[in-house]
């Protein structure tokens, strides 16, 4: 496609599309099936884990009953493989009748009755990534109306089996179609991930007018290597990505894999901390029915969640990469506060990292810091105070930092009733 045609299309789109649905003023939180349960459709051989209405009911129950909903984890999200292989007689998508015998509308009511919201998956192409019916350009309005009639609250719109020209038309058209339903449906676009994630192929100003969030890069896999690869790509391109993020428009580095098989506890804390600093969606993909308490403590850490949900909505960035293989990440927060993450890329032993707030570009003054995962309070800090932080291999230390004189603005009450900083 010629540059002139692309420019013309982008211009037309920007004149006619504006999402403006008022949703996701902070990054979405919830649970999604894909990374943990993939396309398991063997409900005879694996009834507990197959993609079926029972799986999503189970996860809705866990979110509602195990303290997740109260922390902000409110979305239950269906991914690929929920559909029948054929549309119905009216040309509408329909769920697989053996795995979703009650239908999606009934499942949505089940989820809503528990104070939660339902997300669903579709693909802007001839077929989904796993070969189920896609949403071609002529089906966009039909599918948007179908999702709204079912009571869906969130759409993940993938891009397999489509080309750049179709995507350029289809993603904005779906945004307009969702708005036209009159139902508030959050809109997640995979569009930039299919275009390399960067300008000039990706116009982030336009994306912010069309989508509430977007996948920029490769799918996450259940491994530390995958997490590191995503962190490196986002950090390398942070000057482009950071300005694109804000209230109602978020970069999405993909799901939290904490509680699966590929991360140690230190690595799990690292993913949680870095996703919080990046203002990333906190969308778990794990088995909520079998999480142990140590994993639950990471995912339910109130301070990490509050940092992620900070109302300023500014995405954090990597400040330093040291020769010692320690990296420092920073995010500005409301109330003159900030978050610091010290990440070790080492593989040998805990490392004592020396620094100061002055070296990290803090303004002169007196500060205190709350250690997000240990609960320790660091007092009496100014910009010249020598700081020594012990960071485990592939682990993090995460601090919530605030001016000392504003201590009373940065407090919370723990579940045990103890008054603590934040």
Residue of 40, 58, 61, 219 marked catalytic: 219
Residue of 96, 158, 252, 287 marked catalytic: 158
3-state secondary structure the chain: CCHHHHHHHHHHHHHHCCCCCCCCCCCCEEEECHHHHCCCCCCCCCCCCCCCHHHHHHHHHHHHHCCHHHHCCCEEECCCCCECCCCCCCCCCCECCCCCCCHHHHHHHHHHHCCCEEEEEEECCCECCCCCECCCHHHHHHHHHHHHHHCCCEEEEECCCCCHHHHHHHHHHHHHHHHHCCCCCEEEECHHHHCCCCCCCCCHHHHHHHCCEEECCCCCCCCHHHHHHHHHHHHHCHHHHHHHCECCEEEECCCECCCCCCCCHHHHHHHHHHHHHCCCCEEECCCCCCCCHHHHHHHCCHHHHHHHCCCCCCCCEEEEECCCCEEEEEEECHHHCEEEEEEECCCCCCEEEEECCCCCCCCCCEEEEEECCCCCEEEEEECCCCEEEEECCCCEEEEEEEEHHHHHHCEEECCCCCEEEC
Using alpha carbons, select from 301, 311, 312, 315 the residue that is nearest to residue 396.
301
DSSP β-ladder status, 419-421 and 411-413: antiparallel
Sign of CA dihedral 343, 333, 68, 36: negative
- Contact between 284 and 269 (Cβ < 8 Å): no
Q: Does residue 222 have an active-site annotation?
A: no
Q: Does residue 158 have an active-site annotation?
A: yes
Using alpha carbons, select from 179, 259, 170, 251 the residue that is nearest to residue 215.
251
Q: How far apart are CA 203 and CA 206, in angstroms?
A: 5
Active site residues: 158, 219
């Amino acid at each position: 496609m010629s540059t002139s045609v692309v420019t013309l299309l982008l211009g037309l789109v920007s004149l006619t599309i504006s999402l403006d649905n008022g949703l996701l003023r902070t990054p979405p939180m919830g649970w999604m099936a894909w990374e943990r349960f993939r396309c398991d459709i063997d409900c005879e051989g694996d009834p507990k884990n197959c993609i079926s209405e029972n799986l999503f009911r189970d996860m809705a129950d866990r979110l509602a009953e195990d303290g997740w909903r109260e922390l902000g984890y409110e979305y239950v999200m269906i991914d690929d493989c929920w559909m029948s292989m054929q549309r119905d007689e009216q040309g509408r998508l329909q769920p697989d009748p053996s795995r979703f015998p009650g239908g999606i509308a009934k499942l949505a009511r089940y989820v809503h009755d528990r104070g939660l919201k339902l997300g669903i998956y579709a693909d802007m192409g001839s077929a989904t990534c796993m070969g189920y019916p896609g949403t071609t350009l002529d089906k966009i309005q039909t599918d948007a109306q179908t999702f709204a009639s079912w009571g869906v609250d969130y759409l993940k719109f993938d891009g397999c089996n489509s080309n750049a020209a179709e995507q350029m038309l289809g993603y904005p058209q779906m945004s307009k179609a969702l708005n036209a339903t009159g139902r508030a449906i959050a809109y997640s676009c995979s569009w930039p991930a299919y275009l390399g994630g960067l300008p000039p192929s990706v116009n982030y100003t336009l994306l912010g007018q069309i989508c509430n969030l977007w996948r920029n890069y490769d799918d996450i896999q259940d491994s530390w290597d995958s997490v590191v690869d995503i962190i490196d790509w986002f950090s390398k391109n942070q000057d482009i990505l950071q300005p694109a993020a804000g209230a109602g428009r978020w970069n999405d580095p993909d799901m939290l894999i904490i509680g699966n098989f590929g991360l140690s506890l230190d690595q799990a804390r690292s993913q949680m901390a870095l996703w919080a600093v990046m203002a990333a969606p906190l969308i778990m993909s794990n088995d909520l029915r079998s999480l142990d308490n140590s994993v639950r403590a990471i995912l339910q850490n109130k301070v990490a969640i509050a940092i992620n949900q900070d109302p300023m909505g500014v995405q954090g960035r990597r400040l330093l990469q040291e020769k010692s293989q320690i990296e420092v990440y920073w995010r500005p927060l409301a109330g003159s506060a900030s978050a610091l993450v010290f990440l070790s890329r080492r593989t040998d032993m805990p490392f004592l990292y020396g620094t100061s707030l002055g070296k990290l570009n803090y303004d002169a003054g007196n500060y205190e810091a709350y250690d997000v995962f240990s609960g320790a309070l660091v007092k009496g800090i100014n910009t010249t105070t020598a700081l020594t932080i012990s960071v485990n291999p592939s682990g993090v230390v995460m601090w919530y930092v605030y001016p000392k004189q504003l201590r009373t603005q940065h407090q919370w009450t723990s579940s045990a009733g103890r008054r603590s900083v934040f």
